[in-house]
Amino acid sequence: MELMRSAGWPGNVLARWHTLARPMIEDLFDQARQTTRVTRQDTLASDVNLRVPGLVIVGHPDSGRVGEEVALPKLGSASTVEISRLAPAFAQPGQEVFRPLDDAYLSRSPILLSPGPETGSVELDRMGSPMTVLAGDQDIERRRIFTPAEVARGVVLVLSGRVTLLLHLVDPVPISVPHFGLVGESSATVRLRQEIRSAAKLDIPVLLRGETGTGKELVAKALHDAGPRCRGPYLAVSLAALPASLAASELFGVTRGAYTGADRNKQGYFQSAQGGTLFLDEIGEAPIEVQVLLLRALEAGEVQPVGSVEPEPIDVRVIAATDLALDAAIVEGRFRAPLLHRLAGFEIHLPPLRQRRDDVARLLFHFLRQESEVPAAAASGSSEANQAWPTAALIASLVDYDWPGNGRQLRNVARRLAIARQEGMSAHALSQLVDQLLTDAPRPQLPSQQGVASVPEGGASSQGALRRPFEVSEAELLAALEAHRWQLKPTARALRVSRSTLYRLIEGAPGIRKASDLESPEILQALEQSSGNTNSAALELRVSPQGLKRRMKALGLT
């Protein structure tokens, strides 16, 4: 348009071209975007096929060893790999300092890994080694075959209660790419950095998609810092917290006298981000009225402050983010397709933490250091070596967990661990604390073998999109709780809400009793009538068994 205008095309011709030709061009761009999406998925699938089995140290008495890894391409052929105190040699990604596990409590007599009977499977054989081997909750007495699906997901191995390893698929050759402030060295994280590097230099809108807690704001800031607008301002706004009635003034500004109380000109987010980047978080939660305003601003390259008759040109790069399925929202009429096409000049999909399981320990220790609880490196063979913290079993449970809240949830768990550790909580009590934190959190269904399908936080995607809190009445909530015997997980699934939404619904329902309202005499009476069975007592008290157990613990009832 600008080129034709500068070439002297008449205004009526430009208007006619805009009306007729522009939809055709947008359709071509949309087809190109769809082709790009398909190509990208094919590329990811081929990346999976190119990876080989490998081991990553996720727990070690010397916390500095966490994150070291070794690729084991031999497991793709007929060869075997020994694991012992002396082999194999591990190194941090991108470094050439190779070291064995070198823990005095591990035996020099190795256990063996070899190709399993099915392509992609791995067989573990203890071969009489005195080292104990735990895989999940199972103590491997002699041998165990891990299926291709198990290896793709990641198998957590604990050796002699000391060293925790993750057997999974790794890139055979490390890829060097800037970190952009992101913690992690998994294949998925490296690919994410590659996409950031590609998108940063393109001065076009970027749409970030990913589950809650995957670090979308970190990626948005990285795109700004690595891009041509890095010297300009960077502003972030959550559209979910922006009421439709205030959207125009907050986004586009206000002129003096526009309404009562507007005694001066006020810049909006677009004007304040002039020459820089505006990050629109939770774009999927934007009301339709706000979507219309955004689309007009992005298409015209100008904004009109409230009360002004003259539009103002804008020079802002927009980065948007969402954890919602926008394609489904378009079908349901909750999101405008033209706005999606305008925002998705470049799409980046952030991987969930369960698809980069080898980053869990790296992130855990990063968060612990931020909380000033830095685990000391225990020298092998020293008197304090057995006191290494976090323990191998604790790390194993964290790495094997699926993290529905992703990095944000892991940060919260690390903070609770650091606080409890500083208060002198024992290792056993810390383990119980972690079990409680992970049990109380919603656990999604495991992804498919292709690593594509996933279930939103706490619900069943097979039943459709998750419902919003206002769509569930108190009567429906009460009926669902009674039908599912006050068990929260099946209740959330039946109502098609996330577990966190179910908690909020219960808290906000005056007609539904909470476990925190119970007192000792009533609980003891219910337990006596139920012969000490807490599940039966919870049903009698009309509260969840989990909530009753927490209340009993708070009251000192055992």
| Domain range for 92 | 51-174+356-379+386-440
Q: With 90 as the cut, is the pLDDT of residue 106 above it?
A: yes
Q: Is residue 5 part of a domain?
A: no
Collapse the DSSP code of 113 into the 3-class scheme (helix H, G, I; strand E, B; otherwise coil) and give the result: strand
Map tokens 């009793």 to a residue.
Answer: 513
Between residues 172 and 367, the one the model is more confident about: 367
Q: Same domain for 79 and 137?
A: yes
| Predicted TM-score of the model (pTM) | 0.69
Map tokens 């809190």 to a residue.
Answer: 469
Between residues 441 and 417, the one the model is more confident about: 417
Task: Report the alpha-carbon distance of residue 49 to residue 20 in Å, rounded.
Answer: 45
Closest CA to 253 of 237, 277, 271, 240: 271
Q: Tell me, what's the pLDDT at 468?
A: 67
pLDDT band at 515 (very low <50, low <70, confident <90, very high): confident
Which range is least confidently modeled, 121-125, 255-259, 329-333? 255-259
Between residues 48 and 74, the one the model is more confident about: 74
Q: Is residue 25 part of a domain?
A: no
Which H helix or E strand runs over 107? none
Q: With 70 as the cut, is the pLDDT of residue 49 above it?
A: no
Task: Report the alpha-carbon distance of residue 95 to residue 64 in Å, rounded.
Answer: 14
Q: Same domain for 543 and 481?
A: yes
Q: Same domain for 256 and 332?
A: yes
- Check if the beta carbon of residue 344 is closer than 8 Å to that of residue 40: no
Q: Same domain for 105 and 254?
A: no
DSSP secondary structure of 480-537:
HHHHTTT-HHHHHHHHT--HHHHHHHHHT-TTS--GGG--HHHHHHHHHHTTT-HHHH
Q: Tell me, what's the pLDDT at 395?
A: 93
pLDDT band at 447 (very low <50, low <70, confident <90, very high): very low
Q: For residue 508, report the phi and psi dihedrals to the nearest 5 degrees.
A: -90, 5
pLDDT band at 248 (very low <50, low <70, confident <90, very high): confident
Can you say how many angstroms the Cα of residue 457 is from the centroid of all Cα atoms in its chain?
A: 10
Boundary residue ending a domain (296, 329, 349):
349
Q: Same domain for 344 and 360?
A: no
Map tokens 């996330």 to a residue.
Answer: 498
Task: Report the alpha-carbon distance of residue 131 to residue 110 in Å, rounded.
Answer: 8
Between residues 533 and 205, the one the model is more confident about: 205
Residue 260, domain CATH:
3.40.50.300
Q: Average pLDDT, stretch 86-107? A: 93
Using one digit for the tens of pLDDT, what is the confidence trace for 365-388? 999 988 875 554 444 444 344 456
pLDDT band at 346 (very low <50, low <70, confident <90, very high): very high
Which range is least confidently modeled, 120-129, 284-293, 436-445, 481-490? 436-445
pLDDT band at 544 (very low <50, low <70, confident <90, very high): confident
Q: Same domain for 83 and 139?
A: yes
Q: Is residue 9 part of a domain?
A: no
DSSP secondary structure of 422-474:
HTT--HHHHHHHHHHHHHHS--PPPPPTTS-----TTS-GGG-SPPPGGGS-H
